[in-house]
């Protein structure tokens, strides 16, 4: 399992906000999103707090308040979202995230044995692959994808999968 369901819910929440993206328009209440996606409201509150702290989302309090995206969906890449929720995308606990956000490699097993920690090479590659895919995917893309019919999405996903396999 690469990501937690917190990330799943967070992405789903962002997509739902993207669907109602009226530029300066009305905010969407969490309750509406929770109902639309059948997700626990109380838990969503905690998740959206992370998104807000990361500056991906704005809020207006009080009655008829809610949340809206602080950027257009096309300007939001999924590494922003996942990083805000997961804190860091590290394959292993060797990886300690640094101040600049890019994870540095600090492997404890290195000094013990005389030789280098070969697994670093592998985990670094994997992490690079993940971050690459996350950065390539924009929220606008997911929003557009969610507008299709479920039948159409199946074949679309199949194509993606094939593209990946013989890439």
Q: Please answer whether residues 16 and 57 qualify as being in contact, where contact means their C-beta atoms are separated by less than 8 angstroms.
A: no
46 binds DNA (CB under 7 A): yes
Rounded-to-integer distance, Cα 145 and Cα 40, Å:
24
C-alpha triplet 81, 134, 147: angle, nearest 5°: 75
88 binds DNA (CB under 7 A): no
Rounded-to-integer distance, Cα 18 and Cα 143, Å:
6
Out of 18, 20, 66, 139, the residue judged to bind DNA by CB under 7 A: 66
The residues in 20-39 that bind DNA, with binding defined as CB under 7 A, are 29-31
The residues in 2-31 that bind a second copy, with binding defined as CB under 8 A, are 2-3, 5, 7-8, 11-12, 15
Out of 26, 36, 41, 106, the residue judged to bind a second copy by CB under 8 A: 36
Rounded-to-integer distance, Cα 137 and Cα 115, Å:
38
Strands 103-105 and 95-97, bridge-based pairing: antiparallel
Q: Please answer whether residues 140 and 17 qualify as being in contact, where contact means their C-beta atoms are separated by less than 8 angstroms.
A: no
Q: Is 66 left (phi over 0), alpha (psi -120 to 50) or beta?
A: left
Closest contact distance (angstroms) between CB of 8 and DNA is 7
9 binds DNA (CB under 7 A): yes
Binding mask of the shown chain, residues 72 to 111, with x at each position contacting a second copy by CB under 8 A: ------x----------xxxxxx-------x--x---xx-
Report the interface residues with a second copy, using CB under 8 A.
1-3, 5, 7-8, 11-12, 15, 36-38, 78, 89-94, 102, 105, 109-110, 112-113, 115-134, 136-137, 141-143, 145-150, 152-153, 156-157, 160-161, 164-165, 167
């Amino acid at each position: 399992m690469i990501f937690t369901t917190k990330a799943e819910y967070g992405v789903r929440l962002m997509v739902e906000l993207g669907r109602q993206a009226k530029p300066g328009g009305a905010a969407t209440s969490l309750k509406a999103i929770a109902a639309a996606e059948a997700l626990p409201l109380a838990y969503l509150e905690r998740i959206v707090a992370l998104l807000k702290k990361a500056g991906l989302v704005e809020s207006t309090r009080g009655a008829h308040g809610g949340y809206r995206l602080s950027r257009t969906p096309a300007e939001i890449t999924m590494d922003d979202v996942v990083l805000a929720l997961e804190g860091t995308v590290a394959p292993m606990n060797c990886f300690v995230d640094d101040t600049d956000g890019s994870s540095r490699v600090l492997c404890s097993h290195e000094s013990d044995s005389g030789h280098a920690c070969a697994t670093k090479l592998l985990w670094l590659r994997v992490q690079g692959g993940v971050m690459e895919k996350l950065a390539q995917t924009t929220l606008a893309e997911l929003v557009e994808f969610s507008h299709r019919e479920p039948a159409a999405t199946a074949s679309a996903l199949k194509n993606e999968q094939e593209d990946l396999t013989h890439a």
